Amino acid sequence: MTLKHAIKQIMIWRYKHISQKNFVLLLSILVGLLTGVAALTLKNLTYSIQVFLKKGIVFSENQLYFILPFIGLLLVYLFKKYLLKNGMTPAVPSFIKRAVPSVLYAMLRQKGLLSYKLIYHPIIMAPLTVGFGGSVGLLGPAITSGSAMSSNISRWMHIDKKTRTLLIACATAGAIASMFKSPIAALVFAIEVFSLDLTFTSLLPLLMASISSVLTSYFFLGDEVLFNFSVTDKFNIRDTAFYMILGLGTAIGSIYFTKIYFAIYAFFDRFKHRFTKLLVGGFAIGVMLYFIPPLYGEGLSFTKDLYDGNHLHALGSTLFDAHLNNIWVVILLLLGFTVFKAIAMTTTFAAGGVGGVIVPTMVMGSALGNVVAKVINNVGFGHQVSEANFTLVGMAGLIAGVVHAPLTAIFLIAEITGGYVLFLPLMITVAISYMITKNYMAHTIYTKELAERGDLLTQDKDHNVLTFMTIDSVIEKNFITLRPEMSLGAMLHEGVAKSNRNLFPVIDAQKHLVGIILLDDIRNIMFDQALYNSTSVETFMQIPPDYINYETDNMRRIMQKFQDTNAWNLPVIKDGKYHGFVSKSKLLTAYRRQLINITH
């Protein structure tokens, strides 16, 4: 029995015995299970590589491990060049550089269809990147792999686009739930980042996927988790002002993180060849690792050491070992780690590495929180704060600022600490960090490129309707074109007499639009035969109130142009030439139709 025939038999049985609602719930459980397995595979492969390398000669007295990121990036480069012959189908646009944006784009513009190759590619390339020391995380690849699984399962089961989108969000929730054993944060992340409507229809499948993925993680790993913290220091109301300062600090850190991310990518975009990016990036990461060893890999052990109060072990061996008895040297080194973690992470990505953003963000936030606490405790205020608590809350503050996901940040840290002892300081720091960064930067590293191209869904339904619409669906081309040198008589016989339109585009020999003629403008002279041969089209044409650029104008901008000009028809220019018209009536009709599709 072939796979196709087996799927057909399953579908026949399903239509007879299982309702659509229950079928989606079963698929969400399956997606959660498979995503959990993918996340576990990623973690195990990565840690196996790291253990193998730690036992090898590169971790001997010569401390040559700083060359490993280059080797890992080279292996990823060779894999992409020689094994990814056919690329991805549907193709992911080149302007999308990360896992989550590619999934967001596929949900909007590719009907939620992801190549089956994305199931296993991240599972191979991410461990090579992170295991060999690339300063990135594993959550992004887990999301990509799980999303590709859910997309292809939906395609095999003939699931509609809307449900396919929901199942992709379930895969994302499953990846986070499996990685951190935090099902509530996983559910909230899917809602915040994918802009899903919080309804029972979407909530229950997300919850089932999260539970399924967490149970998978417990089955294979038991109680082992990425972060295992037990909060012992309770929140003190006198620390409120200091948590507000931490919120300000994480907001500044978030802005820096985002700015440096795009600046480094802009720098690497100057290099035309991927191998050149590999050489430059590999060398840069090696130098950073030589001076700041904790930048190696994800950095989870670094955060755990800081939480345990063991900053000397967290920092490792540095050029400043002789001065580590001075707390201000330690503070400067931790601050340096905070600064260079963002640089090392983005350099790994820009050089061709595969990984995620969330874990590096958390690690950087833990260092920043620890720095703030150490400064408060040693600056001479006579007030002591919990460095462990500030380390945890710093992670949440940076997640809220970098990803613009404040609720995810709060619930994630609350869940990985096993309780809600820090709920109030988490809310204080996260709220301040989010408000400042959101006000300063409208979009995140996930959404900036998509938003600039009009390919981003938000909680704004009006915005989403326009985002789902495409310009091709509203362009009309049944207009009779005129030439500027045509006589009035020729225009009446070849244009007006044969058209049911009251508008005529005027184009030259190269098909450039030079003007338009409105029937109302010639109505009072169109029967004056004395003018038939003595006047031309050029005499009566006018410049359109505005133009629609096919390549750059999205539907939101098009709607704004109609509002600004008060026009009923606007010409479309493609490649500098006349391409058709968009009418306000057709635009509004298409808008109403799309609104119905989204809300039902």
77 vs 380 pLDDT, higher one: 77
Question: Which structure tokens are listed for 289?
Answer: 């690792």
* 347 Cβ contact partners less than 8 Å away, ≥ 6 residues apart: 135, 264, 268, 281, 284, 285, 288
- Taking only Cα atoms into account, the Rg of the chain, rounded to an integer number of angstroms, comes to 29
**CA–CA dist 353, 360 (Å, integer):** 14
Residue 240's nearest CA partner among 437, 430, 424 is 424
Residue 548's nearest CA partner among 599, 513, 600 is 513
**CA–CA dist 555, 109 (Å, integer):** 14
Residues of the chain with pLDDT > 90, as a percent, come to: 25
Residue-wise pLDDT for 498-516, tens only, equals 877 888 888 888 888 988 8
Question: Which structure tokens are listed for 549?
Answer: 């650029």
Query: Looking at the DSSP assignment, which residues form a beta bridge with residue 577?
Result: 574
Task: Confirm if 155 and 90 have CB atoms less than 8 A apart.
Answer: no
Question: What integer pLDDT is reported at residue 522 of this predicted model?
Answer: 78
Question: What integer pLDDT is reported at residue 525 of this predicted model?
Answer: 78
Task: Confirm if 394 and 368 have CB atoms less than 8 A apart.
Answer: yes
Q: Is the pLDDT of residue 376 over 60?
A: yes
Task: Confirm if 369 and 394 have CB atoms less than 8 A apart.
Answer: yes
Question: What integer pLDDT is reported at residue 408 of this predicted model?
Answer: 92
Question: What integer pLDDT is reported at residue 477 of this predicted model?
Answer: 86
Query: What mean pLDDT comes out for the span 58-74?
Result: 71
Residue-wise pLDDT for 388-410, tens only, equals 899 999 999 999 999 988 999 99
Task: Confirm if 126 and 135 have CB atoms less than 8 A apart.
Answer: no
Question: What integer pLDDT is reported at residue 462 of this predicted model?
Answer: 55
Question: What integer pLDDT is reported at residue 509 of this predicted model?
Answer: 85
Question: What integer pLDDT is reported at residue 256 of this predicted model?
Answer: 95
Using pLDDT thresholds of 50, 70 and 90, give the confidence band for residue 461. low
Query: What mean pLDDT comes out for the span 264-283?
Result: 90
CB atoms within 10 A of CB 234: 9
What does the CA dihedral 523, 528, 531, 537 come to, rounded to 10 degrees?
20
Report the range of poorest mean pLDDT among 295-304, 434-443, 588-597.
588-597
**CA–CA dist 589, 471 (Å, integer):** 13
CB atoms within 10 A of CB 56: 12
Burial 94-106 (b: 16+ CB within 10 A, else e): eebbbbbbbbbbb
3-state SS, residue 189: helix
Using pLDDT thresholds of 50, 70 and 90, give the confidence band for residue 55. low
**CA–CA dist 275, 395 (Å, integer):** 34
What number of residues does the chain have?
600
Note the helical H segments in 441-580: 448-452, 461-468, 488-494, 519-522, 537-540, 555-565
Task: Confirm if 405 and 399 have CB atoms less than 8 A apart.
Answer: yes
Report the range of poorest mean pLDDT among 4-8, 201-205, 359-363.
4-8
Question: Which structure tokens are listed for 223?
Answer: 């109680």
Pairing verdict, β 569-574 and 577-583? antiparallel
Query: What mean pLDDT comes out for the span 464-484?
Result: 79
Residue with tokens 């060779």, as numbered in its chain: 78
Using pLDDT thresholds of 50, 70 and 90, give the confidence band for residue 79. confident
Output the CA–CA distances (angstroms, integers) from residue 305 to 227, 330, 591, in the order listed. Answer: 11, 14, 55
- Residue 146 CA neighbour count, 13 Å, CB half: 41
3-state SS, residue 478: coil
Kindly list the structural domains of the chain, giving each domain's residue range(s) and its CATH number in brackets, ordered by start.
3-221 (1.10.3080.10), 237-458 (1.10.3080.10), 463-599 (3.10.580.10)
pTM equals 0.76
Query: What mean pLDDT comes out for the span 456-463?
Result: 55
